[in-house]
Amino acid sequence: MQFLRSLIFTSFFLLFTFCYAIFFVIASLFLPWRARFVLARLWANVLLGALRILCGLGFRVEGREHLPATGACIALVKHSSAWETFAQAAILPPQVWVLKRELTWIPVIGWGVRFLHCIAINRSAGGAAVRRLIEQGRQRLADGQWIVVFPEGTRMPPGETRRYGVGGAAVAADTGVPVVPVAHNAGYFWPRRGLLKKPGCIRVVIGPPIATRGRDPRDINEEAQRFIEAHSGLSEQRSDR
């Protein structure tokens, strides 16, 4: 039965996202960026609601008090499933996402990504990609937009990690804005491979902002990684959310 529920949700996820992307692209022609993000947040909340209803998978957030009340920040987010790729829009302040440029080539959906001012990078470009990220990151932060980065670069199985990419930390060191580490255990419920979504409660833990001014990006990454990995192996709990 849970497999069937997961299949229904996955079908809804794909169909709703494609149809909503058409609406979003048309609406974005007439809306400023913040209004576009409101629509993106609505999309995320609909998916989160459908996931709870169809699969019995909810979430709860700890540490919201650590989100600065003013000023844009850079969020470094654990990457272990597809869940956080949309949930971040509902959990964190208005934001842009750092993503691989290939995603912008997807018809309709890629157009929507562009309208959200996301920062698309060529991962194979090495240092040039980091420089591009810093340049565009400065502008997004100056516009009051948070930047969300998955520093691992790819989805990692629960309990595993890899060396964090330097891009997000480099932007933080260059601009002096705080880094907010975000841990979660979504990978236990929504594996990176496989269709089944387990019922339960995803726990998201937002850490205290990390000071970055005058620091080496590698030191910033190490501090963020210690927090994220220490809080991502959290036990499963059921939830009615």
What is the structure's pLDDT at 234? 62
What is the structure's pLDDT at 239? 40
What is the structure's pLDDT at 175? 95
- Whether the per-residue pLDDT at 61 is higher than 50: the answer is yes
Domains parsed from the chain with CATH numbers: 2-230 (3.40.1130)
- Whether the per-residue pLDDT at 237 is higher than 50: the answer is no
Inter-residue contact 187 to 57 (CB < 8 Å) = no
Residues 24 and 163: their CA atoms lie apart, in Å, by: 35
Inter-residue contact 206 to 62 (CB < 8 Å) = yes
Residues 110 and 155: their CA atoms lie apart, in Å, by: 20
DSSP code, position 144 = T
Torsion on CA atoms 111, 115, 116, 117, rounded to nearest 10: 100
Q: What is the CA radius of gyration of the chain?
A: 17
pLDDT tens digits for range 157-207: 888 899 999 999 999 999 999 999 999 999 999 998 888 999 999 999 999
Nearest to 149 by CA among 129, 166, 135: 166
Residues 170 and 212: their CA atoms lie apart, in Å, by: 9
**Cα separation values, 203 from 89, 92, 121, 207, Å:** 16, 14, 30, 13
Residue 119: pLDDT band with limits 50, 70, 90? very high
Average pLDDT value over all residues in the chain: 92
- Whether the per-residue pLDDT at 20 is higher than 70: the answer is yes
**Residue 231 CB-half CA count within 13 A:** 22
- Compute how many other C-beta atoms are within 10 angstroms of the C-beta atom of residue 168: 27
- Compute how many other C-beta atoms are within 10 angstroms of the C-beta atom of residue 69: 6
